[in-house]
Amino acid sequence: MSDNVIHVGDADFETQVLNSEQPVLVDFWAEWCGPCKMIGPIIDELADTYAGRVKVAKLNVDANRQTAAKFGIRGIPALLVFKNGQIQASQVGAVGKAQLAQLIESAI
């Protein structure tokens, strides 16, 4: 796992994501989710690629139901890009690195 990926939860989501100076890509995932595990290495690569420009965070939906519910997460993996506390872009389901990079680029 990349050192550039942070883990966030209900308690620190506002501080780490909504109040972030940088855009933040949040990966909503769960341990039991196969597609989530498939894109995990891609998320790590993107965290390294965009280090210093975009913060990359992971939120376990099973352990942080309040935040997942607040943002209407019904399917995972769900990737949301936040900028200035607002959702700028989103993607539900496992996609390739190029599509995820495009998602980030569209928001920054």
What residues form DSSP beta bridges with 91?
A: 79
User: How would you write the pLDDT of the chain (108 residues) with one tens digit per residue?
Assistant: 789 999 999 999 999 999 999 999 999 999 999 999 999 999 999 999 999 999 999 999 999 999 999 999 999 999 999 999 999 999 999 999 999 999 999 888
Q: Tell me, what CATH number does 82's domain have? A: 3.40.30.10
Contact predicate 55/25, CB 8 Å: yes
The number of domains in the chain is: 1
- Compute the Cα dihedral for 69, 74, 76, 81 and give only its sign: negative
Q: How many CB atoms lie within 10 A of CB 67?
A: 22
Closest CA to 6 of 21, 16, 15, 20: 16
Looking at residue 107, its pLDDT comes to 84
Token pair in block for residue 72: 């209407």
Catalytic residues: 33, 36
Q: Which domain holds residue 28?
A: 5-107
Looking at residue 12, its pLDDT comes to 97
